[in-house]
Structure 1
């Protein structure tokens, strides 16, 4: 079986898809990835084919931001939507040639199902977070803030209906234009067309259980975890060995203000801890020559998180899952979209703290969040949850895909 796996996003979107591709490859199937150009060399280092799609996402998302980011205008959003849809039709049509199955991850997969229809091959939509999928039990995620997770079902239904209308305003006209070019009938609504009535959910059921919704059957497999045997860099090993477990700080692909590094490092120092600062796409770094802080690039989270006292991060699903899997308490500093949900879940489960947002971050706020996170009872709870996690979600998903479509 030849499978195309497509996602447009940061490493947190691509890495789980890579883990599934490797499981399919191990079963004797051919898997290729269609992902942003930033990850082409990395994907190909595993012996997989990679077809670049979309822009350099690091240039779009990385760097520093002095204040709250300015929202793009409606006109600009419309222009981006049109370009996204047209490029996807062009790239995916070639990438899916002679494939037997297309797997699309994430809400930006606007054209993928249409390509599958045109080629008459099966299509599976996958979400990494339950809050992405419509349900009266929770509101839709927003890009720059959050709704309360305790809204009445009637309110949630209204918010999902309004969310569906926004999708149609942005994407429906262009999507139907491109569908007509390949001989397909127009669709009435974009979001249910993309998500299908049977979406898959690649999230751990103990950490992020699926929500029921009328007309939708969710297939939950567990998180897709990449088996990483890469050793930690020698300079990081040396740092870890020279004292008690430090606090890890990392915001992945998120932007950060010029004061972020200072706020993080000084909060650790205020509590008597050393700090490990992950540079990420915002290029966070040490603020002085102190020996109690180290700045690192991409490293093996599985190995590192087990050796730190707490994990402070932006709330990506992969990082949240990795911290719980390691049995380490966490502080989530949400920036956008589903990150607010992950902050809510770790707080609800008592395995972490929903910390200040990027705009609210101060040394005092981080000290308060870390003090709560470092309590012994929180460490005990996360270690119990760690033992309940499903570690073979990608393998389970690969086996089910082969059984259904192979």
Structure 2
């Protein structure tokens, strides 16, 4: 039994499929993965014995700088990625029994699976990516901002924009391989029975007519790496610090200064994760410490709160650790959705805009670090599942058998 997994994006897009790959291998399946050619992804997959099929340009190049590429450049990248997928996916899928794709960028995946006669599964990491009258579509960088508020109309406009971006390219390739055209690219990619790889307690799916969503729970692996000795020394030198990190996002360098200033004003220590933005400290005082890549599962249970950008993985890891969160959401993809979930669940605070003020941060920290917020976060942590990847792997293997 062979399975091809495919995604294109940052670590938050790749790591859930890594977890699924490991669980599939435990059930006897052979796995290969189409993903960006960034060195960290190649090393991660190589260390697990999973073959990487590189697709597209390195994601780090696209995420460099505090601003996204222009709308014209994003449109060109997206079209080129479809062409690249149709060039690479057929050989990658050769001999496979199923193709699991995650992310809207996987425009070619279903067509390649259809041509090969193999099972196709689409997976989303957040409910907000799937059409429903219960929520609006997520922001899509480079596309026009709609001026309406009705969710159904917004999803209709979203489908229109997806067709405008991808319809011609997709149907051109489908014609080349003998497949009929599709008139709704987005719903073609999603299918009528997508999987939702998100925790039901943290990001539940609300029943929507016409869409039979299978919610498996979030896909993650246990991280057994020990924390660095110097980090442990800092943690043990005082009260639990507040973690500040923005992963693959590139916020303004001023954000670390604002967070540290707000925390110091309330007597808290800070732990700054450099991330792709290479954030640093503002001075050499001993109440702050900077770190690189570390085990978040092992760390988050030892901090007072987690300040982050609203990524699905970070939100879930912090929730599972039972720690309050302050989300400074990047205004793209599912980041605002996860910020909203943190606020709705009262397990922290959410801030609008990419550069919060010291005043707004101070208010958010008072909310997040209040005893009642900590207790709600702790209680939610007891309800977060850890078996999502195993559940998804079992579903797929049983279906193929």
Q: Report the TM-score when normalising by structure 1.
A: 0.94
Q: Cα–Cα, structure 1 residues 98 and 70, in superposed 2: closer, same or farther, change >3 Å? A: closer
- Where 2:48 maps in the other structure, the secondary structure is coil
1:70 to 1:91, Cα distance in 2 relative to 1, 3 A: closer
Q: Residue deviations 1:158-213, cap 9 Å, x none?
A: 11000000000000001111111111111111001000000000000011111222
- Report the alpha carbon displacement of residue 14 of structure 1 after superposing the two structures with TM: 0.8
1:203 partnered with 2:193: no
* Structure-2 separation of matches of 1:208 and 1:253: 22
Contact 1:19–1:227 (8 Å) recurs in 2: no
Other structure's SS at 2:134 match: coil
For the residue of structure 2 that corresponds to 1:45, the secondary structure is helix
1:397 paired to 2:392? yes
The 8 Å contact of residues 7 and 35 in structure 2, kept in 1 or not, is answered as yes
Mean alpha-carbon deviation: is it higher for 159-168 or for 288-297?
Answer: 288-297
- Is residue 334 of structure 2 the alignment partner of residue 338 of structure 1? yes
Distance 2:365 2:63 in 1: 27
Of 265, 268, 277, the residue aligned with 1:273 is: 268
Cα deviation for residue 70 of structure 1 reads: 6.5
Deviation at 1:32, TM superposition (A): 1.3
Equivalence for 2:28: 28
Checking the alignment, whether the CA contact within 8 Å between 2:62 and 2:68 is kept in structure 1 is no
Root-mean-square deviation (CA, aligned residues, Å) is 1.5
1:109 and 1:229, CA in 2 relative to 1: closer, same or farther beyond 3 A? same
Structure 1 residue ranges (4+ consecutive) displaced by more than 3 angstroms after TM superposition: 75-78
- For residues 118-170 of structure 1, the C-alpha deviation after alignment (integer angstroms, 9 at most, x for no partner) is 1110000000000100011111111369xxxxx98xx1111100000000000
Between the aligned partners of 1:11 and 1:70, the Cα distance in structure 2 is 17
Residues 144, 6 of structure 1: CA spacing in aligned structure 2 closer, same or farther, 3 A cutoff?
Answer: closer
Pick aligned residue for 1:293 from 282, 288, 293: 288
TM-score for the superposition, normalised by structure 2: 0.95
Q: Which of 231, 255, 266 lines up with 2:226 in the alignment? A: 231
Residue segments in structure 2 that go unaligned for 5+ positions in a row = 143-147
Provide the residue aligned with 1:194 in structure 2.
189
Contact 2:323–2:377 (8 Å) recurs in 1: yes
- Pairwise CA distance, 1:91: 1.5
Offset, 1:357: 2.3
How much does 1:71 deviate? 6.4
Q: Where does residue 145 of structure 2 map in the other structure?
A: none
8 Å CA contact 1:5–1:33 kept in 2: the answer is yes
**Long gaps (5+) in structure 1:** 146-150
Comparing 198-207 with 291-300, greater Cα deviation is found at 291-300
Aligned match of 1:128: 125
Task: Give CA-to-partner distance per residue, 1:348-376, whole Å, 9 cap, x none.
Answer: 111111124213x1222211111110000
Is the contact between residue 78 and residue 105 of structure 2 (CA under 8 Å) also seen in structure 1? Answer: no
Q: Is the 8 A contact 1:40 1:51 kept in 2?
A: no
Deviations 1:20-72, CA, capped at 9 Å, x for gaps: 10001111111111111111111111111111111111121134x3xxx3662
Partner SS for 1:80: helix
For the pair 1:352 / 2:348, whether they are aligned, the reply is yes
